[in-house]
Every structure is written in structure tokens, then in C-alpha cells.
Amino acid sequence: MVAVFDFGGQYAHLIARRVRELGAKSELVSPDISKKDLKKLSPQVLILSGGPASAYDKNAPKLDKQIYTLGIPILGICYGHQLMAYQLDGKVSSHSRKQFGKEFLKIEKSPLFEGLKNPQIVWFSHGDQVEKLPDGFEIIGSTKSAKIAAMQNLKKNFYGIQFHAEVSHTPDGQKILSNFLFKIAKAKKDWNLKKVRENLVKSLQQSIGTQKVLMALSGGVDSTVAATLLKEAIGSNLHLVFIDSGLLRKYDIADLRNVVKTVGFKNLKIVNAQGIFLNSLKGVIDPEEKRKIIAKLYFSLLEEHAKKIGNIQFLGQGTIYPDRIESAQTSKHADKIKSHHNVTLPKGLKLKIVEPLSDFYKDEVRLLGKILKIPDQFLNRHPFPGPGLGIRILGEVTEERLNILREADEIFISELKSSGIYNKVGQSLAALLPIKSVGVMGDSRTYSYIIALRSVDTTDFMTADWSKIPHEILEKISSRIINEVRGVNRVLYDITQKPPATIEYE
Ligand code: XMP
């Protein structure tokens, strides 16, 4: 097992995910764990993640120093690299020249960099630096502004890298992790999703027994896969509900009916709640407030429905790992980014929560879906957030804005599908900006809304690059939106990476 110490950076979880992708079992552990408790987990490998703290701060999360004496190979990444240097008596300081984004790393001969070109493109995201090596270490990588960007202690099998090998912006990052895991630390390749599926179904059967579960379907990948697992585990004790909040796209309900028919779900009820949501969102512009209102209403409708069915003990949720990360539920050291719909449960909720996918990342969920024989057309669907178009309309949500956005979104998505691009990109969306700009149509001046289109390439949804959609296709989409959607006179294409931007606009 590979123990990934979670220092609260968003990327801690991504490391665990990457390790599993390479075929080794990984688990997140809290930095507060003692040497004794860690030994009980019998890890073969330790990885210290990045995190927002500074190693030299009094309150920064630290490692039990005894852990360095266990004789287990360690890789420190970003904060983990700095912490290892600091705790082994090197020196770390804040640097005047901050490094964020792409850097060129000049590498030295090291088992960590075996088979790699020199220099390497790597991704930095931290203000601190290792200034003095700890005893027994040597430099194996430097950049223009960070002399000790990578270090090793060959005797102890300790390695530290200042950059994030786990993000897709470091193109050879997986190779570096693989070198560390399998060549240096001799980790076992024994993580396999088929086994995981069997264990999941068994553990769902054990925890639910003969009780009833109510699960909200959305037609999206996560809730479909979660519900299919529950269906396998408890059969007709699974009850499904779909809440039509009115914040849906044009095709969502048709897609849902299609999934239900194909997967063979029974006991589905569609609750029409369009008016209630729109009323509650009147005048609300703050994105976090919108999220909270939507989530509260959503869960109260679910509870109401559960009462109607009677004797429901569990609420099934399609929550996946990144949802929990971004709501800072997985680590006390993380900064909260947003209140994710699935995890913002109302206080006093009477139902117990069952979340079969809460330890998995999106691409793992898709693989599980394949193993469960869910057709590709459903598994390849782009994610659609719980609060729906409510967070794709910036500012106040109104009927007029919803209608405009629905039309624009349908044109965008259907053009991506017909040009074969949809399945090649990670997620595409249209957002309505609540400002108007001047245009000219025919001979008249217009003063209308702006639609932003965003399409990203990503597999983990925690980092993303904007999709390089051919200009002629963008042109066709833009011209169709301007000509066919009343109330829009300008279309923008978003060319921001995540980070620093998120995928949704909110
Ligand atoms: P961001 O905007 O944080 O989004 O880069 C990352 C991924 O999460 C999706 N997302 C959500 N999914 N409930 C969900 O089920 C939510 O509240 C939610 N908010 C964002 C988003 O669409 C993207 O795929």
C-alpha cells in the first residue's frame, strides 16, 4: 500500500488517484498519524503531498519525525519536499521570486528521472523553496529560480521534488511517479477495479441489509453508476427520484428516461419543482448563497418524497472524491473552495447517507460503469453540476436567462456532438454572463447578453486545459448562437486553464 500524507493541498488526492492509475493501491493518511499507527497500515511507500502551509510556520502540519526512521522510501512533493528538507535539518524559506506555472527543470542523473529528456517541463505552485539540503542529500534538479527543485538521498531512498508530478501540466509526471513507485520503492501492482466492484457490492449489502434506500438520479455518470451498484446490492429496495428543478438543460429529462430504460431501473418518480426553485432564487446573486438555497430545497424535497414512500432509512448519493475535496471535507488542512451540492447536506437530515463512489475519481467511476456494463453513451456524458444552470448563470437566475442559456447550450453541445468533438473533450458548457454589450444586427444597434463557451480537456477534473476546438467549428457555433438565440449578441470562448480558473463559472 502507498500511504499518501494529506497536507491539505487539492493535489494530495490527485496523487493517490495517480498512484492507483499506475496500478498500486493507495490510501490517504492524516499527517497527525503516529509512527505506531502508520506501521499498523504496513505501507511499502510514503508520499508527502503538497499543501498550502509553509514548513517553517509554527502551526504548519508536520510529520512524526520518527516516521523518517522506518526505512520506507519517501517521495516529498512540493510542500512535502520542503517539509522533508526542513524536518531533516535542511533550510526552507519564502522566496522573493514566486514560481507558479510552467518551468523548465534541468535534471541530473537519478533513478527518479530514468528515461526522461533533459530539460523537463514541470508545474510549480508554491512560494517557498528549499534553500539548504539536509545531510546526505544531493541536488538532482534545478530551475532558473529554484536551485534545489529536486533532491535525493540514495542511501535512504528519500526523494523530494518542488514541482507537482501529479498534474497533467507536468507531461512526464506519471513516468516520474512510476519510476519512484516501481523502480525505487518496488511497490506492488495489485489495484484492480473488478475486485473493487465485488467488494463494494458486498460492503453495501452488509451496511444496508434489508433496509430501503432513496437515491436521486440526475442522468449523469456518477449517480447512474452509484445507483447501478446499489441496484446490484439491494435490488427492489432501491427507490429512485429525479427532481426537476427547472435549472436543467433542454435535453436532460429525455437523457434521464433513456438511462432508466437502458439500465433497467425500477421505482422512479419525477418530481416537478420548477416554480419552487425559481421563486427561492429571486434576487440572489451570490454564488455560494445560490448553491446553499438550491441544496437546501433539493434535500427537503428528497426528504418529503422519502416520507411519501415510507420506511426509507438511507439516502443514496453519487458523491465522488473531488466533490469532497473541494468542499474541504477530506482534510482539515485544506482551504474550502466551494460548497458542493452533493456534500452540503442540511443539518438535521434524518436519513443516513450512503455514497458508494466517495473514494473514486471520475475516470475510475467511468471504468466501474464499464465493468457494470453501462453503455458508453451514458458513461461519456460530460459532468453536469448538481445546482445545474443555477451556477452557469452568473448573477440572478431568471426565467428569461434560463431560456437563453438553454438555447445556446443546446447549439454548442449538439455542434460538438455532430463534429465528433464531444467525446474527445472532458467537459463543455455554456454560461450566461449577466452583463450586456453593444452590437449591431442588420442596421440596428443591439444591447444584449454575452454567452461564454468553455470546453476543457481533463481526465481528473481537478486540473484542466482549454480544448483547442478548430476555429471553423467555433465560428459556426458562434454564428448559430447569435442568429438563433434572441437576447445574445456576443459569444466568447474561454481560454483559461484550471487552476487558476475552475471549470464552472458559479
Ligand atoms: P470546478 O468548477 O470546481 O468543477 O472546476 C469540477 C467538476 O465538478 C463539477 N461540479 C459539480 N458536480 N455537484 C456536482 O455533482 C456540484 O455541486 C458541482 N460543482 C461543480 C463540475 O461540473 C466539474 O466537472
Whichever domain contains 101, its CATH number is 3.40.50.880
CA distances from 387 to 144, 256, 344, 349 (A): 44, 16, 11, 19
Give DSSP secondary structure letters for 364-391.
HHHHHHHHTT--HHHHTPPP--TTGGGG
Give me the number of domains the chain comprises: 3
Atom of ligand 1 nearest to the CA of 339: 17
Percent of the chain scored above 70 by pLDDT? Answer: 94
pLDDT band at 480 (very low <50, low <70, confident <90, very high): very high
- Give the per-residue pLDDT at 327: 56
Evaluate: CB of 197 within 6 angstroms of ligand 1: no
- Give the per-residue pLDDT at 238: 97
Say how many Å lie between the CA of residue 358 and the centre of ligand 1: 14
Kindly give, in sequence order, each residue whose CB lies less than 8 Å from that of residue 452, ignoring residues fewer than 6 positions away.
430, 431, 432, 433, 491, 492, 493, 494, 505
Beta bridge partners of 74: 46, 158
Q: State mean pLDDT over 233-241.
A: 96
Asked whether residue 389 is domain-assigned, the answer is no
In a shared domain, residues 127 and 212? no
- The interaxial angle of helices 193-208 and 221-234, nearest 10 deg, is 60
> For the domain that residue 373 is a member of, what is the CATH number?
3.40.50.620
| Three cell numbers, residue 37 | 499507527
- Give the per-residue pLDDT at 159: 98
Q: State mean pLDDT over 35-64.
A: 93
Model confidence pTM above 0.85: no
* Torsion sign over Cα 174, 462, 164, 192: negative
In a shared domain, residues 315 and 448? no
- Say yes or no to pLDDT of 303 above 60: yes
In a shared domain, residues 122 and 168? yes
pLDDT band at 9 (very low <50, low <70, confident <90, very high): low
Q: State mean pLDDT over 97-117.
A: 91
In a shared domain, residues 41 and 169? yes
Q: State mean pLDDT over 70-92.
A: 97
Atom of ligand 1 nearest to the CA of 326: 3
Asked whether residue 73 is domain-assigned, the answer is yes
In a shared domain, residues 243 and 346? yes
Asked whether residue 404 is domain-assigned, the answer is yes
Check if the beta carbon of residue 386 is closer than 8 Å to that of residue 295.
Answer: yes
In a shared domain, residues 204 and 344? yes
Asked whether residue 500 is domain-assigned, the answer is no
- Say yes or no to pLDDT of 97 above 80: no
- Say yes or no to pLDDT of 330 above 70: no
pLDDT band at 348 (very low <50, low <70, confident <90, very high): low
Q: pLDDT of 253-281, one tens digit each? A: 999 999 999 999 998 999 999 999 999 99
Say how many Å lie between the CA of residue 504 and the centre of ligand 1: 7
- Say yes or no to pLDDT of 347 above 80: no
Measured CA to CA, the distance from residue 436 to residue 490 in angstroms comes to 9
Helices (H), 50-116: 79-87
Asked whether residue 388 is domain-assigned, the answer is no
Asked whether residue 36 is domain-assigned, the answer is yes
- Say yes or no to pLDDT of 422 above 80: yes
Residues classed as catalytic: 78, 164, 166
Asked whether residue 506 is domain-assigned, the answer is no
In a shared domain, residues 236 and 341? yes
- Please give the backbone phi and psi of residue 369, each rounded to the nearest 5 degrees, phi first: -60, -40
Residue where a domain terminates, one of 184, 206, 239 = 184
Residue where a domain terminates, one of 379, 414, 439 = 379
Which segment of 226-235, 254-263, 318-327, 366-375 scores lowest on mean pLDDT?
318-327
Measured CA to CA, the distance from residue 302 to residue 351 in angstroms comes to 10
Say how many Å lie between the CA of residue 42 and the centre of ligand 1: 35
Domain extent, residue 14, equals: 2-184
In a shared domain, residues 350 and 411? no
- Give the per-residue pLDDT at 45: 97
Q: pLDDT of 133-164, one tens digit each? A: 999 999 999 999 899 999 999 999 999 999 99
Residue where a domain terminates, one of 145, 163, 184 = 184
Q: How many CB atoms lie within 10 A of CB 59?
A: 7
Q: pLDDT of 177-191, one tens digit each? A: 999 999 999 999 988
> For the domain that residue 443 is a member of, what is the CATH number?
3.30.300.10
In a shared domain, residues 22 and 129? yes
In a shared domain, residues 418 and 435? yes
- Give the per-residue pLDDT at 244: 96
Evaluate: CB of 341 within 6 angstroms of ligand 1: yes
Q: Whose CA is nearest to atom 22 of ligand 1?
A: 385
pLDDT band at 340 (very low <50, low <70, confident <90, very high): low
Evaluate: CB of 383 within 6 angstroms of ligand 1: yes
In a shared domain, residues 165 and 205? no
Asked whether residue 442 is domain-assigned, the answer is yes
pLDDT band at 91 (very low <50, low <70, confident <90, very high): very high
In a shared domain, residues 222 and 349? yes
